[in-house]
Amino acid sequence: MVAEEQSLLKDNHIVASDYGTLESRPASVACEERGEVPKWDEAVANGMVHTTYKRELIVLVKYTAPLYVTFLLQYSLTFASLFSAGNLGKDELAAVLLATMTANITGYAVYQGLSTSLDTLCAQAYGSGNKTLIGLHLQRMICFLMCITVPVIIIWLFSEQILTAIIPEPELAVLAGRYLRILTIGAPGYASFEAGKRFVQAQGNFTASTYVLLFCAPFNAILNYILVWHPKYGFGFSGAPTAVVITDWLMPLLLFLYVRFVDGYDCWGGFTRKAFHNWWPMIKLSLPGFVIVEAEFIAFELLTLLASYFDTAHLAAQSVLVTATSIAFQLPFALSIASSTRVANLLGATLEDSAKTAAYAGFIAAIFLGMVNLLFMISARSWFVLLLTQDPEVIAYVVSVMPVTALFQGFDAIASMGGGILRGQGRQHIGSYISIVAYYFLAIPISIVTAFVFKWELYGLWSGVAVALIFVAIIQTTIVLRTDWRKVVNDATARIEGA
């Protein structure tokens, strides 16, 4: 990895065996005969540092495994609230679902989308060897997200009035509004953790956030029991969002302690007034990431809303299918983050050939993971649905429709990988245009026509998603394959120098 390779500069040399391949140059023959090559910058300048598909696939596996665990654990935090508050009654369950959907669209997805710019900025800075620039990017992003948090909190504080005007059940709006008002306290903590994750991941450290969540996920489950159900300390429905708030602040605190005392502090560089200036390059990369994440979130929520026009069984089945595809998506999404970081590291180090190899290796891995998800969803559909419902009608719908959702898993993985590579290149604006076209000019219209005009119902809803993902996979893959890697390297260099 780039991080490991650069760490070998302690003695001002690099061990040759730590690279995939080395291209010999006359000036470096003597060094190579001793099993060494000149330091990183000189090796880069001489074109001596290269990689292989095998090496890049090994790197991606090493990066992806802890990321996958991280995403699953973070995804589990929502289930803890659904389970603890949902068992109080059907109104409480519906209120948590409504509040969670609102929080995702108006807050969490916003933070996730905007902070993706650090996948480009921090990773390219680390690849260039400018470590303290990573800390500067983190400070700018946290300041930016704190500004964004102000309107997020305002929306959540007045969510009861907003939801009352949208949904017909006022009691659900009251409960969901209470949940979101409490959640406002944890919003800055969640935003800080999203930025902090990118800070450590850019350094090739994908285990830090995993360690944090290995503690926080079970702790959150215990908190939910204590604050919701414990006869002495529990206080019912309001205990569920309180547990979320505590966890939202605990995650960035533990991540900070990890960076300070374990690994990553050398990239901090200390607080600086520069954090309050030169935001525009970051914002230009943040906004497309925001558009991509929001487009997908809202599109799937609209599909769930459309499913409610059939009957309750169809809506329940749609919820199970969305849950299954969301869980399956975590693996290729983790792979795309790993690939994005790796490509950005190599571009920051001006290694265009190695970055190209890493990108192509990412597509190979994505195809493999897509096939794994396809086989898993087809084989596991009968028992997976039993984890979420015992209703025979819902089970029948899920078992019959899940093969359709399984068939586009390969395209989903490739589409995710294409988006990750574009982020690593700093060209996420392309992905934002593609996402808008895919979801709102293809997926939603096709889903409506096939579900309601052709009477395909759930099959129709998911057919629109399938067409959109095929479109995204083909377009993004074509764009990546046609990349002018020299230009992308020059753009990365200009981005670093202009920070």
Position 412 in a domain: yes
142 lies in the same domain as 121: yes
261 lies in the same domain as 353: no
Full pLDDT tens readout for the chain, 499 residues? 444 444 433 333 333 333 344 333 333 333 333 333 334 444 444 555 578 899 999 999 999 999 999 988 988 887 788 777 767 776 787 788 788 888 989 999 999 999 999 999 999 999 988 989 999 999 999 999 999 999 999 999 999 999 888 877 788 889 889 999 999 999 999 999 999 999 999 998 999 999 999 999 999 999 999 998 888 888 888 999 999 999 999 999 999 999 999 999 999 989 999 999 999 999 999 999 999 999 888 888 888 788 878 887 887 888 788 888 888 898 999 999 999 999 999 999 889 999 999 999 999 999 999 999 999 999 988 888 887 778 888 889 999 999 999 999 999 999 999 999 999 999 999 999 999 999 999 999 999 999 999 999 999 999 999 999 999 999 999 999 999 999 999 999 999 988 7
Q: How far is 417 from 364, CA to CA, in rounded Å?
A: 10
For residue 104, the enclosing domain spans 76-277
The SS3 assignment for 167 reads coil
Position 300 in a domain: yes
Closest to 494 in 3D by CA, of 352, 339, 285, 281:
281
Question: What distances in angstroms separate CA 480 from CA 67, 343, 351, 363, 438, one per listed residue?
Answer: 23, 12, 16, 10, 18
130 lies in the same domain as 264: yes
Position 57 in a domain: no
Give yes or no for a contact between 20 and 51, defined as CB atoms under 8 angstroms apart.
yes
Question: What distances in angstroms separate CA 140 from CA 93, 120, 349, 425, 499, one per listed residue?
Answer: 38, 14, 23, 20, 11
Residue type, 203: Q
Give yes or no for a contact between 246 and 216, defined as CB atoms under 8 angstroms apart.
no
Q: Which residues are within 8 A (CB) of 370 and not within 5 positions of it... i.e. 6 or more apart?
A: 332, 409, 410, 411, 412, 413, 414
Domain boundary among 277, 300, 325: 277
* The pLDDT of residue 499: 73
331 lies in the same domain as 189: no
Domain boundary among 218, 248, 277: 277
298 lies in the same domain as 370: yes
243 lies in the same domain as 300: no
Question: What distances in angstroms separate CA 499 from CA 288, 360, 475, one per listed residue?
Answer: 19, 29, 31
User: Which residue's structure tokens are 């979320």?
Assistant: 244
Question: What distances in angstroms separate CA 76 from CA 69, 82, 160, 336, one per listed residue?
Answer: 11, 10, 26, 20
Give how many domains the chain has, as a whole number.
3
* The pLDDT of residue 10: 35
427 lies in the same domain as 495: yes
How many other C-beta atoms lie within 10 A of the C-beta of residue 19? 19
305 lies in the same domain as 195: no
269 lies in the same domain as 292: no
Helix (H) or strand (E) holding 49: strand 49-50
How many Å separate Cα 2 from the centre of its chain? 22
Helix extents (H) in 46-169: 53-86, 90-103, 109-115, 117-128, 131-157, 159-164
What is the pTM for the complete model shown?
Answer: 0.85
460 lies in the same domain as 347: yes
194 lies in the same domain as 310: no
440 lies in the same domain as 389: yes
* The pLDDT of residue 51: 81
Burial tier of 434 (Cβ tally within 10 Å: 0-12, 13-18, 19+) = buried
Domain boundary among 223, 255, 277: 277
Position 132 in a domain: yes
* The pLDDT of residue 35: 37
Q: How far is 204 from 151, CA to CA, in rounded Å?
A: 33
* The pLDDT of residue 47: 54
Position 475 in a domain: yes
Q: How far is 51 from 28, CA to CA, in rounded Å?
A: 18
Position 61 in a domain: no
Give yes or no for a contact between 454 and 370, defined as CB atoms under 8 angstroms apart.
no
Position 71 in a domain: no
Position 67 in a domain: no
